[in-house]
Amino acid sequence: MSLYDDAVLVLKGYEGQEELRQAYLDHLAAHADGVWKACTAGHVTASALVVDPSRGRVLLTLHRKLRMWLQTGGHCEPADASLEAAALREATEESGIAGLTPLPGGPVRLDRHPIPPPCHWHYDVQYAVLAPADARHTVSDESLDVRWFAYDEVAGVADASVLSLLEATLARL
């Protein structure tokens, strides 16, 4: 199955955010290359919130370009077999944590946000991944910092989209 086919299948099966979900599906129907960065009308991205539920915290990355605390994530690559695999790859690369496990049930949230030209939109499919008990993180080239935050600290450092992802993740847990 191609990444495009997986994206359509995942989005058709996603429950919630009906209008936004349909906008994602409409975008993919109009753009056969809609999962790739080269699609300047916008493209699907995959992200993951790294969670340590036993300690009540999440790992956020201080994005190098945006200078904002965000969940891990980014563009899909040709080797990604699925959106979940892309989110897991990005989370592993950006956190340096091996052994991350996707939370069952597929994506926890969708978030479409504008991006400066030449692209116009990121159609982000957001997952949650569980960190192993002995997780040790590192800072990647894409980040200025990577840090654990208690659930109640996230509102003080991150924007509304990250808070919404945290809320959806906690509901899923």
The domain ranges of the chain are 3-172
pLDDT value at residue 164: 98
Helices (H), ranges, 52-114: 83-95
pLDDT value at residue 119: 73
pLDDT value at residue 141: 87
Q: Residue 142: which of 40, 70, 84, 62 has the closest Cα?
A: 62
**Residue of 10 and 118 predicted with greater confidence:** 10
Dump pLDDT digits (tens) for 25-83: 999 999 999 999 999 899 999 999 999 989 999 999 999 888 999 999 999 999 999 99
Burial (CB count within 10 angstroms: exposed 0-12, middle 13-18, buried 19+), residue 28:
buried
H helix or E strand, kind and range, residue 56: none
CATH superfamily of 3-172: Nucleoside Triphosphate Pyrophosphohydrolase (3.90.79.10)
Dump pLDDT digits (tens) for 76-135: 999 999 999 999 999 999 999 999 999 999 999 999 999 877 778 999 999 999 999 889
Q: Residue 128 forms beta bridges with which residues?
A: 49
CA gap 66, 38 in Å, rounded: 20
